[in-house]
Chain A
Amino acid sequence: MATTITMPQLGETVTEGTVERWLKKAGDTVEKYEAFVEVSTDKVNSEVPAPVTGTLREILVQEGTTVATGTPIAVIDEVGAATAEHTASAPPQGKAEMAGSANVEPVPGFNLPEMPVKHVAAAGAPVSNGHVTVPSGNGAAAEAALRGASPAVRKLAREHHIDIRTLRGSGANGRVTAEDVLTASRMGPAAAVGQAIISAPQTPQAPPKAPATPGPGGTSTYGEPIPGTLIPLNSARRIIAERMVESKHTAPHAWSMVEVDVTNVWKWRAREKDRFERDTGYKLTLLPFFIRAVVESLAVFPLMNAKFTAEGIFVEKDVNVGIAIGLPTNLVVPVVKNADKLSIKGIALACADLIDRARRSKLSADDLQGGTFTVNNNGANGSYASAPIINGGQAGIVTMETVVKKPVVTADDAIAIRQIMNVCLSLDHRVVDGYVASGFLADLKKRLETMGPAGVL
């Protein structure tokens, strides 16, 4: 075994020493405790005893040279030991360098499957390759979720083969908690994708080519249900079920409806829609007009943009409007963030993008987080009134029902044909009472009825 001898510290405050004289030369044998080199400092001269018996293989620092304490100055091959550790051609500092960088081991539990860490293969390999790389193609929020993941979350995710980026967190600011990972794990591997209704998109199942046949044990799928069979719950269905039950059981729902004359908005939209589609490639629907009116009403009635907690009613700072989007096999509610800061056009573009990506299963976890109020465009298929279930952790949800032409008695007792739409509100009665809720609905009605028929999107 080779023993490296370093410059000793010759005094409490001494940081360097000079090799004064080698008492042995390379190849000489030295006895343990035998002086083999003389070193000096500005305070003291001293002979250094050999710590082992062996052969002085190599002198690393020449006489008259001053080096820092701890610097290798010689190598002694211990008697009877193989000389494996240190090749003669290595530079003087080689040993120290190797000790410093060669043993870069991945930290146990820290090296996630989706975070390949390139390891330094050997001393001297470029260390700059050692940084963490993450596959591209995920949203910034997903990456933030990964970066913010606690050690426990990382470890559990690795153990349970779950991609943290696909989870919707229940912790502070949407943080994925260790419990979230365990929950996702309990619900099966598929649950890693698409926590929450309302959360991540499920990949739509490819339409079956052949007529559907019952699966083993008489099962079928949600997309292709067969009478007399059981559809095993996938994670999306299970989560939708859990969230719906939870909301219905914890939030006492109350319901109200107003009839809104949307004739002018309808005209406004009709005038703008062709240009909008030409400019943006998206169709202009009534939804962004409606959301604009909703966020304006929320500003007047902040209690509608709030949630019930054990400590009290938390009034949300941001206005993030979720839009419920029905898909063939599930339901998602992506969120238009800070909708109150957007123009009608801005809302229209945000909605169009979310709807488009929802249909292509390209929503990110971030798209599905942070909603403070929900809008459900329920009227597309002719629904005239509905009683929606509140998205958990919000004060209310409003629907847009179908727009129908109706004879209306006007203020001056004439009969006119107007475009009429019902707006339904479910509210969490723990957060608001009818007084606030009906005020909100009346305000929303007034805004919608006074929008258009002209204006800037």
Chain B
Amino acid sequence: MAVAEKTSEILNNVEAVRQTLYEAMKNDERNVILGEDVGARGNVFLITKDFVKEFGARRVIDTPIAEASIVGIAVGMAMEGLRPIAEIQFADFIYPAFNQIVGEAAKTRYRSNGEYTCPLVIRTPYGGGVRGALSHSVSIEALFYHVPGLKIVAPAFPADVKGLLNAAIDDPDPVLFLEHKKTYRLIKGEVPTGHYTIPIGKADVKKSGNRLTVVSYGLYVHWALEAANALEQEGMSVEVIDLRSIRPMDRETILASVRKTRKLLVIHEDNKFGGIGAEISAMVAEEALFELDAPIRRLAAPDVPAMGYALPLEEEYMSSPAEMADAMREMVRF
């Protein structure tokens, strides 16, 4: 982490995004924000409030409700020298843009044999636990995870949000930047002032321990930490790794931890089948089978089409800190 100044301030995740975007807009005229309600409304979470007044409607562009166009236009801007920061208002609405993201943005560098790059950031709030029901709760990372050429970032802490958003804006290739909406105002933390970046593809050990490695990202990092800290009181030492970047995946940090603890639990909010945990599990099984003292375990959402609106359905879909603690206990004792 290259910290320009030592001073810091306490921000929540919304403020961290807002501050980073504001500084980026101020420092580089090539940066353009486009999306639904990002202008006059200032984004549904007020992340870009008043941006249009300061930077003008040519750089803070309200688009129609047409996600394929938002990303498609942004791809063109990026290929021709701008640094667009596109917003999909909720990740649940990203599907119309799938072709533009997967078929165009991710392949631009390869298709043009390096002649063109696509320095594009697509920001989108994702995740549940907010009674968002079927169209405001989804996790989309696994849908895009399979695609080479696309980077996926999902920070959980305000300082990581700022450092990784700066890195995403600087990145010469497309980055899908996922912001867990439940953490937006829930999570506060110290954020260094001034410009700094955190390398994409680098996980962070948020709590060290030696009996079990827990890998997670997004909101669940906070809950996993809560569970791990509770277990610490019971004398069980659990290591919690915040992936921060989903792709590229920080294999070294995960493997080093698993080699130490010999046990791996992956926790994520997205569905279990074919989720991020599947890839991590396969990687660890390939690289470190003979270090494992327990079957790898995944704690993730069941195979149901969506998070229901009714609270029991939402709770059933999500893993609680207590469920996480139970899974951790079982694995430590195994």
A residues within 8 Å of B by Cβ?
Answer: 108-110, 150-155, 171-172, 175, 177-179, 310-311
Contacts and interface: CB of A to CB of B under 8 A. Distances in A.
Contact of B293 (A110, A152, A311): A152
Given A178-B262, A310-B234, A310-B235, A151 B334 contact: no
Nearest to A155: B290
B334 A110 contact: no
Given A178-B262, A310-B234, A310-B235, A151 B333 contact: no
Interface residues of B, number: 13
A175 B235 CA distance: 20
B278 interface: no
A108 B290 CA distance: 9
Contact of A153 (B235, B289, B293, B329): B293
Given A171-B334, A310-B234, A310-B235, A154 B262 contact: no
Contact of B292 (A150, A310, A311): A150
Given A151-B292, A310-B235, A171 B262 contact: no
B73 interface: no
Nearest to A150: B293
Interface in B222-267: 234-235, 262
A150 B235 contact: no
Q: Which 9 A-B pairs have the closest CB atoms?
A: A152-B293, A178-B293, A109-B290, A155-B290, A151-B290, A150-B293, A172-B334, A310-B234, A151-B289
Interface of B: 234-235, 262, 289-294, 329-330, 333-334
B262 A152 contact: yes
A108 B234 CA distance: 37
A152 B235 contact: no
Given A171-B334, A178-B262, A154 B235 contact: no
B234 A150 contact: no
A152 B334 CA distance: 13
Contact of B290 (A110, A171, A175): A110
A430 to B, nearest CB: 16
Nearest to B291: A152
B333 to A, nearest CB: 6
A341 B234 CA distance: 36
Contacts of A109: 290
Contacts of B235: 310
B291 A151 contact: yes
Contacts of B330: 172
14 contacts: A110-B290, A150-B293, A151-B289, A151-B290, A151-B292, A152-B262, A152-B291, A153-B293, A154-B290, A155-B291, A171-B334, A172-B334, A175-B334, A311-B329
A178 B329 CA distance: 17
B297 to A, nearest CB: 13
Contacts of A150: 292-294
A177 B293 contact: yes
Contacts of A178: 262, 293
Most chain A CB neighbours (cut-off 10 Å) among B235, B291, B329: B291
B263 to A, nearest CB: 9
Nearest to A170: B333
Contacts of A311: 234, 329
Which among B234, B262, B292, B293 has the highest number of chain A CB atoms within 10 Å? B293
A109 to B, nearest CB: 4
Which of B292, B329, B330: most chain A CB closer than 10 A?
A: B292
Given A152-B262, A178-B262, A310-B235, A172 B293 contact: no
A141 B290 CA distance: 23
B290 A152 contact: yes
Contacts of B290: 108-110, 151-152, 154-155
B292 A172 contact: no
A311 B293 CA distance: 23
A250 to B, nearest CB: 12
Given A109-B290, A151-B292, 4 more contacts: A151-B291, A152-B293, A171-B334, A172-B334
Contacts of A179: 293
Contacts of A108: 290
Nearest to A110: B290
A153 B289 CA distance: 11
Contacts of B293: 150-153, 177-179
Nearest to A178: B293
Contact of B333 (A110, A152, A154, A172): A172
Contacts of B333: 171-172
Contacts of A175: 334
B174 to A, nearest CB: 29
A231 B334 CA distance: 36
A70 B35 CA distance: 50
Contacts of A110: 290
Contacts of B334: 171-172, 175, 177
